[in-house]
Structure 1
Amino acid sequence: MDRLTDDDLGALIALRRDLHRRPDLSGAEAATAATVAQALSALGVEVVTGLGGHGVAGIVPGGAPGPTVLLRCELDALPIAETGQPAWRSETPGVAHLCGHDGHMATLLGAVRLLRRDPPPRGRVIAMFQPAEEDGSGAIAVCEDPRFAPLAPDWAFALHNLPDLPRGVAHVPDGLASAASVGLAIALTGVEAHASAPETGRSPAPELARLMDTLPALSRAVFPAPDFRLVTLTHARLGAPAFGIAPGRGEVFATLRTSSDAALAALEAEARALIGQPDGLSVEITEHDRFLAGVNDPEAAALLREAAKAAGLEALHGTPLRASEDFGRFGHDCPAAMLLLGAGPGPALHNPDYDFDDRLIAPGAATLAGTARLALSRGG
């Protein structure tokens, strides 16, 4: 079985905590990418940088030609101020690794150490450190980058820590693994007026109130039912912060979430029809943070479960994430699967006091390395 040494773990934990101190937002991961590229170079692997933005790939060769396995993690952090107080607390105001991407990077680097120490007999492994996962743009950008074509995989795998699950448990769903979603920003523009004579202008307030009531009402069913859909209001603003002006502008943000890409398209069409074109107002709708549904290939999922068991984890079929994850894009081109690694009790992902549990690095790295070995032994 693949196993990291105490020296390995000491180095990986130190690197993880250094990455935690110096987080980068989506699309601005230059410093994080440079740190990862340096760590890969120190392990003696070929490194490709600048993929889909700041993406970094480390190429681990096997002993003979064969299929390609991609193991993917994320580079970016979140625009949230950290309230936890670890010694390695974020030094960047308003930005922090509160989803565990720092730990995922350390885990994948651990898998590279294991694969370099005992190279697979054939094929190659691409350790993909992907940019801009948090806004859904990174996987698409990497896959569409012409420089990624020579690295295109026959299999793709990833893991994500999940505090909701007991430590030592790995959930690997067959089929749906993460929800599809998109953000709609709806801007309503009318005409400002004096607060003493609002009838001389055109306020978007009634329309804004209508949308804040009717958009969430499009929600129905329970995830992961095929007809599940959830509309979440994430932001609203009306006019200027003043008492003498009747507002002329309002905006509301809504995130639409479903169990499939087709269902998301249908929900988005219904939401746009509901928004409509109210009299006296101009309406502008822009899309943001579009995520494809993540769908685990059954054979790829079985390989992940087999490797997780070999790494000492309890591997279950489990349930998918209601959250979105842009790893789903890799599954459009090859069999792919994502594992959810239990982190035990503690703050949830994206909470301001969350911190990655370093005890997940060893079993996570062994699972990723073991999965790559299994996939390479099966062919592609």
Structure 2
Amino acid sequence: MYLTNQDIVELTAWRRKLHTMPEVSGEEVETAREVVRFLKDTAPDAIIEGLGGTGVAAIYDSGITGPTVLIRAELDALPIEEIGEPDHRSKIAGKGHMCGHDGHMATLAAVGRRLGRERPKRGRVILLFQPAEETGAGAAAVIADEKFKALTPDYSLSLHNMPGIRLGHAWLKDGQSNCASRGIRIVLTGRTAHASTPETGISPVNAVSKLMPALTALGTGPQSGSIETGDLVRVTVTHATIGEPAFGIAPAHGEVWATLRTSTDDQMAALVEAAENLAREAAAESGLTVEIDYHDVFGHCINDPEAAAILRAAMDAEGVTHEAGQAFRGSEDFGRFGAVSKSAMLFLGSGETLTALHSPNYDFPDDLIPIGAKIFLRATQDILG
């Protein structure tokens, strides 16, 4: 047996404890400490802290040469006020585990319990608790960290719980899994004037008014393409502002925020160039200066066929029903591990009628903890023996 009933009880309680203490991207100090505390009982061969900021890596080493398998969960929560009323609801105002990362951490801890009792026959398993997934900054920071060089995996595996899929069933497809995306912030600056003589100033009104539909029009086709056919290009304007809330001032400052989304990184590069050209043209036409910066930058997520096949075989062996399913327009920071290893992510169903991810009353289904753990344990066994 992979896990005892007592294991499940304790892991469920720990998941709920994590749910009460959410920390947002880049602030996961107490969460990381709690992970280290909980994993110490599994006696890993090493625990590396401060990885890519607040990340934690627990290493279970056979002592015999072989591949390195990395399994990733996320530390961070969201800046969302929880409105659900479970006994384990968030104790931190304005923050909540509304994406299920608390459940992902508990799933990895379950894997750690088993590995603490029985190491792989060769190679090593690294359980990575990654910071800042929600902003797209965490994976890049981990990979860039000097401490990661000694951890570089041959295979990287992960899962994400997903409402809309039958509880305990999984979706896993080769190739495209998640889109690339990034937030673009365009700042336009002119010169204020009295509202009675606006012609004496330089206003961003026309530029902002032009940019919002022009950016949106960069999307391809009536539905902005399809991730399945690899031609999705979408721009969603998310925020705009002009001037100050006053009647006597013709404005000098304007901003347009938008999310750029594409099937692939190459398409994103072309979309970025097109969006920047539009911004500069609109600014020049109105005599404005323009500054452009980017936030929440995610690369595309591509499942390696070999890594995906390993997860499928593990699900078959463990009786987990799965299908290819579909790729998702949403972005996922895990894709960056595909640049350093053979990587694959599966989506584990949290229920067809469960509220959507990032909803203010979302709560990870505890039943998924042992299901996810047995998939990962079987996959590592298949790779490492």
Residues in 2 aligned to 1:350 and 1:241: alpha-carbon distance in whole angstroms: 31
What SS does structure 2 have at the residue aligned with 1:185? strand
Q: Counterpart amino acid of 2:254? A: G
The match for 2:217 is 217
* Residue 266 of structure 1: aligned partner: 270
Following TM superposition, by how much is the alpha carbon of 1:320 offset from its aligned partner in structure 2, in angstroms? 1.6
In the TM superposition, residue 63 of structure 1 has moved relative to its aligned partner by 5.8
Displacement of 1:115: 2.2
Letter in 2 for 1:289: D
- Alignment equivalent of 2:382, drawn from 366, 370, 374: 374
Name the residue aligned to 1:285.
292
Q: Is the 8 A contact 1:98 1:354 kept in 2?
A: yes
Q: What residue number does 1:322 align with? A: 329
- Within 5 A, what are the aligned runs for 1:180-191? 180-191=180-191
Say yes or no: does 1:312 pair with 2:319.
Answer: yes
Taking the TM superposition and a 5 Å limit, the aligned residue runs for 1:283-362 are 283-344=290-351, 345-362=353-370
Amino acid at match of 1:34: R
Identity rate of aligned residues, in percent? 50
What is the CA–CA distance in structure 2 between the aligned matches of 1:308 and 1:193, rounded to whole Å? Answer: 66
AA partner of residue 332 (structure 1): A
Alpha-carbon separation, structure 1, partners of 2:161 and 2:152: 25
SS at match of 2:122: coil
8 Å contact kept, 1:163–1:349: yes
Deviation at 1:118, TM superposition (A): 2.9
Contact residue 182 and residue 288 of structure 1 kept, 8 A: yes
Kept in 1: contact 2:42–2:115 (CA 8 A)? no
- Could you tell me which runs of 5 or more consecutive residues in structure 2 were left unpaired when the two chains were aligned: none
Q: Which amino acid letter does the alignment assign opposite residue 256 of structure 1?
A: L
Q: TM-score, normalised by structure 1?
A: 0.96
Distance 1:241 1:84 in 2: 35
Instruction: Please name the residue that 1:30 is paired with.
Output: 29
1:248 is aligned to 252
Residues 154-169 of structure 1: pairs in structure 2 closer than 5 A = 154-169=154-169
Query: 1:3 offset after TM fit, Å?
Result: 3.2
Partner of 2:240: 236
TM-score (norm 2): 0.94
Secondary structure (helix, strand or coil) at the match of 1:27 reads coil
Alignment-derived partner of residue 179 in structure 1: 179
Aligned to 2:39: 40
Q: Secondary structure at the match of 2:328?
A: coil
Note the C-alpha offset of 1:311: 2.9
Q: How far is the alpha carbon of 1:353 from its aligned partner?
A: 1.6
Q: CA deviation at 1:29?
A: 0.7
The whole-number CA distance in structure 2 between the counterparts of 1:335 and 1:150 is: 17
Q: For the residues of structure 2 that align with 1:245 and 1:17, how far apart are their CA atoms?
A: 52
Asked if the contact 1:63–1:120 (Cα under 8 Å) also holds between the matched residues in 2, the reply is no
Provide the C-alpha distance between the structure 2 equivalents of 1:25 and 1:376, rounded to a whole number of angstroms: 35
C-alpha distance in 1, partners of 2:228/2:259? 17
Deviates further, 217-226 or 175-184 = 217-226
Match of 1:114 in 2: 114
RMSD: 1.4
Amino acid at match of 2:136: G
Deviation track 1:36-58 (CA, whole Å, cap 9, x = no partner) reads: 01111121112110111011000
The question of whether the paired residues in 1 share the 8 Å contact of 2:308 and 2:343 is answered with: yes
Q: Deviations over 1:157-214 (max 9, x none)?
A: 0000010211121111101111111111111111222233322222212211111111
Q: How many residues align?
A: 376
Matches within 5 A, 1:110-149: 110-149=110-149
Tell me what 2:101 maps to.
Answer: 101
The yes-or-no answer on 1:365 pairing with 2:365 is no
